[in-house]
Structure 1
């Protein structure tokens, strides 16, 4: 079985947590205090990651879907474990819908949605077929590109003279409440709680004892990068930030140096597509590996085409427009009824049960 190096684990975790968050902006509901919501989410995310990695240490050699049968027994644990692969496939469908809306809105307005989503699903299937080794190498290739584009963007924004420090003030204009609503539960689950999918691969790392340190480091750095994007967007747009659907994409449109360096929105789409792709591949690979382990199948590869087809159909049909996709399905359904129980409540309960069983022994 292929072992993941420390660097590969860091890279995949870092890009996975950035995911689609930066292209949609983070914490728009908090207005100009959105960056504080991002920092608060990162702090809470570290606590959530510590719960996940503690479960991994207390169940050595076992993956996410194997924790539950090990602690709750086969009859209770296996049905609970099966929920996670299904959730991961659903999340791939959501990201596919994100790609559908972003690409059709910004670049390919007249291209049928089916073509956009089918190409995306095909790339996911191809990469998942290669396994975790392909995913790790893909992450190693993406990271320098992401960091390079980020640095260039910051330099060009400063050079364009569009940043206004007064847009950040006053801090806590409406108190802590808007910041806390951004951070919990949506913020902590969206970028950091989903990292639970990587628990499917933690036993396959070359140094399992370093998983906690690597994952925490990636969490802190991804949280800081999300915060930086929020700060840049608020410095440029001020209160308008909360009303922008794609702040990063819009942010790149204001760059203008000597009327020569401008119209760089394509970089935003490149950002989005790379990170959405890697996150989708990781989620799909986690889902199929989990199903394989729970059903004792010899290989997950026979499931790739059906699972990607399900994600494709979900991406095409789960919402009629971007507003329904984000505000109705995400904030009103996904966060309170799926993410909170499966990413926060159940892992915490499992940790308590595992700890009590260890204590009894």
Structure 2
């Protein structure tokens, strides 16, 4: 069995959590208080993640989809566990939809959508075939690149004369209500609650006793980076930040140093493609491995092409436009009906059951 090193787990966790938030921004509904929403979400999300790790310790050597049959029995646990590979597949379809909309509206408006999405899906399939070892190497490669690009962006923005600290004020002008709206349920579940997918691979780490420490550190770093992005966008745009579809992509367009360093939005595209690719590969690998483990198949590789084809079809057909894709499918359907039950309620119930079973023993 391939084993994941501590650094690889840290890199994969960090980039997975940053995910597509790096281009869409976080908590636009809270306006200039979005950064407070991210900090609160990070703290609450840490508690959720620690409950996942507690479940891992109560089920040593088992993956996410094996926890449910182990604690609830085959007849109840197996059907419940099957919900998770299906959710992972659906989220991959959503990310492909994000790529479709981002490329068609901001990067290559005249390129056929089927071409861009198919190429992206083929790359996902290729990486998934390589297994968790390939995903780990991808994380190792992307982590320094993301941090270097982020540092360059901060330096360029600071030297462009576009940061105005008065845009941050007044803090909490409308009270805590707008902040809590972005914290729960979407803030806690988006990226942080989604970290549950990594429970498919925690049992394959070289030092399982360090999973909590590594995951907590990666979560703190991702929370800090996303908070910094929100703060930068607010310093530049103020309350207008909430009106942009791709605020962090737009942020790069204002960089201008001596009319020489300009139009560097491609840095944002690099961010987006790297983090979206890694997140998609992790989710797809978790989906096919989950089905393999639940059905006792010898290999997950026979499932990769059919699963990627389904994800591509979902990405192309799940929404007619970007507004429907983001606002209706994400906030009205996925968050309340998928993420809250599968990322918060079911793991919470399973934790109670596992704790009672240990108490009985």
TM-score normalized with structure 1 length: 1.00
Write the deviation string for residues 187-227 of structure 1: whole angstroms up to 9, x where unpaired. 11011011100000000000001101111111111011100
Instruction: For residues 239-290 of structure 1, give each alpha carbon's deviation from its aligned partner in whole angstroms, at most 9, with x where no partner exists.
Output: 1000000011100000000000000001101100000000000000001111
Matching residue of 1:307? 307
Match of 1:121 in 2: 121
Number of equivalent positions = 361
Q: 2: distance between equivalents of 1:104 and 1:327?
A: 18
Question: Partner of 1:256: helix, strand, or coil?
Answer: coil
Residues 287-345 of structure 1, C-alpha deviations (whole Å, 9 max, x = no match) = 11110000000000000000000000000000011100011000001000110000000
Question: Which residue does the alignment assign to 2:232?
Answer: 232
- Cross-structure match for 1:356: 356
What is the match of residue 179 of structure 2? Answer: 179
Which moved further from structure 2: 203-212 or 102-111? 102-111
Structure 1 equivalent of residue 60 of structure 2 = 60
1:255 aligns with 2:260: no
State the match for 1:287 in structure 2. 287
Which residue of structure 1 aligns with residue 89 of structure 2?
Answer: 89
Give the whole-Å Cα distance in 1 for the aligned partners of 2:360 and 2:149: 52
Counterpart for residue 44 of structure 2: 44
> What 5-or-longer segments of structure 1 have no aligned partner?
none
Stretches of structure 2 that go unaligned for 5 or more consecutive residues are none
1:267 aligns with 2:267: yes
Tell me which residue corresponds to 2:346: 346
Q: Secondary structure at the match of 2:191?
A: helix
Q: CA RMSD in A?
A: 0.5
Q: Distance in 2 between matches of 1:106 and 1:31?
A: 23
Report the equivalent of 2:100.
Answer: 100
SS at structure 1 position matched to 2:298: coil
Counterpart-to-counterpart distance in 2, 1:22 and 1:34: 14
Matched residue, 2:6: 6
Q: CA deviation at 1:104?
A: 1.4
> Does 1:168 find its partner at 2:168?
yes
Q: Secondary structure at the match of 1:96?
A: helix
Contact 1:56 1:62 in 2 (8 A): yes
**Does residue 1:334 correspond to 2:334, yes or no?**
yes
